[in-house]
Structure 1
Amino acid sequence: MNKHFVRKAHRWLGLAFSLTILMSAGSGVIHNVMTRTQLPPPPARPTGTLDPSLIKISPADAAARLPDAAQGIAAINVRSIGMQPWYQIYTASSRAAQYVSAVDGRVDPAQDEAYAAQIASAFLAGVPVKKTDFLTSFNTEYINIFRILPVYRYDIDDALHTRVYVSTTTGSVTRHTDDERQFEARIFTNFHKLGFIPNKDLRDLVLTVLTAATCFVALLGVLLFFLTRPKRSSS
């Protein structure tokens, strides 16, 4: 094999695809910074105080208030919302929770959003919160590594534009972020995953091509090492 051709190919291909290596190295630096500046995911813990003595309706009676209960019940939780006990019921035919008062048996769909606001406010030390979104799919900020959907987004009025994402299924905050943290996360996503390419299929194709090209350049370097190594003396 012509070692001059291999040397030239390695040189120019290495130059062309060095950007991939720089971006990967940069994302590694940002990742280490993020481990120091960003808190781990919030723990899943219940909010509110529950008084069991207020419960007057049994779980079976509460479930019977729902029109689709005959198709089966997937789960029943007791939630404290506004200092009152509520049954959070998931039927077999519905992905969304339904709420039945454990005090008087009334059904109130608005309790899901009220519960989400309570979780967000408790997490943020009781400051007023404002609902700004309800996500049923992932987006550029709440990405698929957070796993849980649907979630509510609540914001507070501060300099950093602090916001939290809340799941009423888990009863917890699934993500807590602000403009500074999101700036770091955006750099990491753009460097590590080419997040600036909006189409996922195209992004995956580009990542695959660039990674394969980087591997090919490395293999050329190994080949060039053996082609240009000094020959041993016959003596």
Structure 2
Amino acid sequence: MSLKNRSARWSNSKHRWLALVGGISLLVWGLSGLTHIAMVMFGPQQAQFMPPAAEVEFTDARPISETLAANGIAQAVAVKTVPSPDGKALWQVTEEPMAERRYFAPSDGREITGGDRTQAEFIARHFLATDREVLSVSLQTEFDADYPWVNRLLPVWKVEFAGDDRLTAYVHTETSSLAAVNNSTKEALQTAFRVFHTWEWVPQGMDWLRVVVIGLMVASLLALAVTGIAMLVTVRRKKRAPGAKGWHRMAGYVLALPLIMFSASGIYHLVQSALVPPASQLRMGEPVNVASGAWPVERDWAALSQGRDITSVALVEGGAGEPLYRIGLKPAPGSMGGGEHDHDGGEKADGMAGHDHASMMASEAEAAPVTDDEIREARFTGIRPDGPAIYLDAATGEVVEEGDRDLALAVARRFSGASDGTVARMELVTRFSHEYDFRNKRLPVWRVDYGEPVNATLFVDTGAGVLVDRVADWEKPERWVFGMIHKWNFLFPLGRLGLNVTVAGFVIALIALMAILGLRMDLAHRLRGRRPKAGEAQPLPGAEQPAE
């Protein structure tokens, strides 16, 4: 018997043997995978993309250093201005990462009672553009089934609105952002995805069993695709077989490769997730010594703000541990969009030391997204809402020569524990990608690549001195495979909507033409009970038997 005939018989027998398990697996993971696409395409959507604006006006205001001292605050993780319902800026103080934020009025330094809860409701109403009654507001400090770890941000306020759809917003007040939004439809789809696609119902103590069972079932899909391709190559037909056999074979030419892509990348992701359970890498910085910020920025506010549209002020820690005022400026007109990265990092802003983020954006201007589709696309690709920043020494008021790049290096140094000599590369990330995806929510961030002994990439937010994400070098290939091969992000030029429609179309085709037709053929074969006698070769389905 020729090698071609032996290969045809072997692949045919294995393909039939795998049909039942593989067909069921394809139905389970195909249908549950569609629920994730449905969540993205049809889930609840925020009505506003940009955060609320605030007028930062400190003329004749009480110095923040006096306000902090009067309230016994010598150190804080973060001190920054945030918008308030009346359109004015408030001082927001974070003493502990998981504690409620405190709020103070700049004009007289009075503390806003229950300010964090009020702020959460204000931000939720802004992003969702709703005047519904609020049923409950609660602070959440842990991830759960309805707000899983992929959302990254904690703590968040869970704001539940009245209505049959159970609209719920998760608000991160530290960044004035809508971390997630749910309703009854999304909760149902999310539950189906967890139960059938990721099997999160398996107890943690038996996670090994989940990995083994899912691995074997998804491996059967991979084996089905490989043996199916072998049959397409080795078994030739003079004409198309009738009925389900013919359609199944024709679909194989188109859908075998997508099936291999989904299954192989799924196994890779499953194994790596078992080795290193996924978790948020977000870390806030160490408390800043705000007591040493003796120079009152409020005193020179008139001169500082003249000719500048200031959108935010924050107390951050400099490279040597000294407190700095970070003065955030409004982006230049038409500069909200942007390219992928900035590699130089040595510009000046308004004649003061800093990093001019806006200038590099002029070539790819984008207007603020308005429609649902535009907002979905903006959240997926990333549109940065901020502009350049300048730095002033909080103790002396002097302009600080270091800019965002220097501050990013200092933040990365604190979290990595490595010297600057181990840094292989630095760049400003202004767009989401497979390496730094939209789940991180923050833009822009600095990417710092470390060589030995760290062998990892850190993404840091200089606006808050925060480590946003940390990716070890050995984890990067899996991220690329999962993003490009499993989620098909190589189709990013089509946009978020086009990508999801294309992936959904292929998944539906796999289910209808491969799983359903394949299972139908397998069931028919079993019902006919046609099994070869001992020593008798099994005929190929719908084809002439290979010649000896």
- Classify the TM-score, shorter chain: 0.7 to 0.9
1:134 aligns with 2:428: yes
- The alignment's C-alpha RMSD in Å is 3.5
What is the aligned partner in structure 2 of residue 213 from structure 1? 509
Answering whether residue 247 of structure 2 is matched by residue 13 of structure 1, we say no
| Structure 2 counterpart of 1:100, from 374, 392, 405 | 392
Tell me the CA shift for residue 58 of structure 1.
2.2
More divergent stretch after superposition (89-98 vs 4-13): 89-98
User: Who is 2:315 aligned against?
Assistant: 78
Aligned 1:20-99 pairs, distance under 5 A: 20-35=258-273, 36-37=275-276, 40-47=279-286, 50-61=288-299, 63-67=301-305, 71=309, 73-81=310-318, 82-92=320-330, 95-99=387-391
On the 8 A contact 1:27/1:187 being kept in 2, the answer is yes
Indicate conservation of the 8 Å contact 1:154/1:163, yes or no.
yes
Aligned to 2:475: 181
Residue aligning to 1:192: 486
Q: Is this contact kept in 2: 1:119–1:166, CA < 8 A?
A: yes
- Cα distance per residue 1:198-235 (max 9 Å; x no partner): 634575565344223213314545776899997xxxxx
Query: Is the 1:150–1:167 Cα contact (8 Å) retained in structure 2?
Result: yes
Where does residue 233 of structure 1 map in the other structure?
none
Corresponding residue SS for 2:395: coil
Q: Distance in 1 between matches of 2:243 and 2:271?
A: 41
Question: In 2, are the aligned partners of 1:62 and 1:102 still within 8 Å (CA)?
Answer: no
Structure 1 SS opposite 2:247: helix
Aligned pair count? 227
Q: CA deviation at 1:181?
A: 0.9
Amino acid at match of 1:100: L
Correspondence 1:121 to 2:443:
no
**Contact map agreement 1:62 1:87 (CA 8 A) in 2:** no
Distance 1:171 1:200, change over 3 A: farther
Aligned-partner residue type, residue 31 of structure 1: H
Deviation of 1:63 after TM superposition, in Å, equals 4.5
Can you list the C-alpha shifts for 1:70-102, whole angstroms capped at 9, x where unaligned? Answer: 64x543221121221111233456623332221
What code does the residue aligned with 1:215 have? I
Relative to structure 1, the CA distance from residue 216 to residue 83 in structure 2 (aligned partners, 3 Å threshold; closer, same or farther) is same
Deviation at 1:136, TM superposition (A): 1.6
Alignment-derived partner of residue 168 in structure 1: 462
Give the structure, 1 or 2, with the largest relative contact order (CA under 8 Å, sep 6 or more): 1
Of all paired residues, the percent bearing the same amino acid is 21
Q: Work out whether residues 418 and 454 of structure 2, in 8 Å CA contact, stay in contact via their aligned partners in 1.
A: no
* Alpha-carbon distance between aligned partners in 2 of 1:92 and 1:116, rounded to the nearest angstrom: 20
Paired AA for residue 317 in structure 2? S
Work out the CA distance in 1 between the residues paired with 2:262 and 2:278.
23
Q: Is the 8 A contact 1:6 1:224 kept in 2?
A: yes
Q: Would the alpha carbon gap of residues 69 and 80 (structure 1) be closer, same or farther in structure 2, given more than 3 Å must change?
A: farther
Q: Distance in 2 between matches of 1:160 and 1:151?
A: 19
Task: Describe the shift of the 1:194–1:225 C-alpha distance in structure 2 as closer, same or farther (beyond 3 A).
Answer: same
Residue range with higher mean Cα deviation, 100-109 or 115-124: 100-109
Secondary structure of residue in 1 paired with 2:413: helix
Q: Secondary structure at the match of 1:19?
A: helix
Distance in 2 between residues matched to 1:121 and 1:28, nearest whole Å: 35
Unaligned runs of 5+ in 1: 231-235
Distance 1:38 1:116, change over 3 A: farther
Amino acid at match of 2:473: D
Please state whether the residue corresponding to 2:280 is helix, strand or coil: coil
Q: Do the aligned residues in 1 keep the contact of 2:434 with 2:483 (CA within 8 Å)? A: no
Q: TM-score, normalised by structure 1?
A: 0.76
TM-score (norm 2): 0.36
Q: CA deviation at 1:55?
A: 1.5
| 3-state SS, counterpart of residue 426 of structure 2 | strand
State the distance in 1 between where 2:454 and 2:289 align: 37
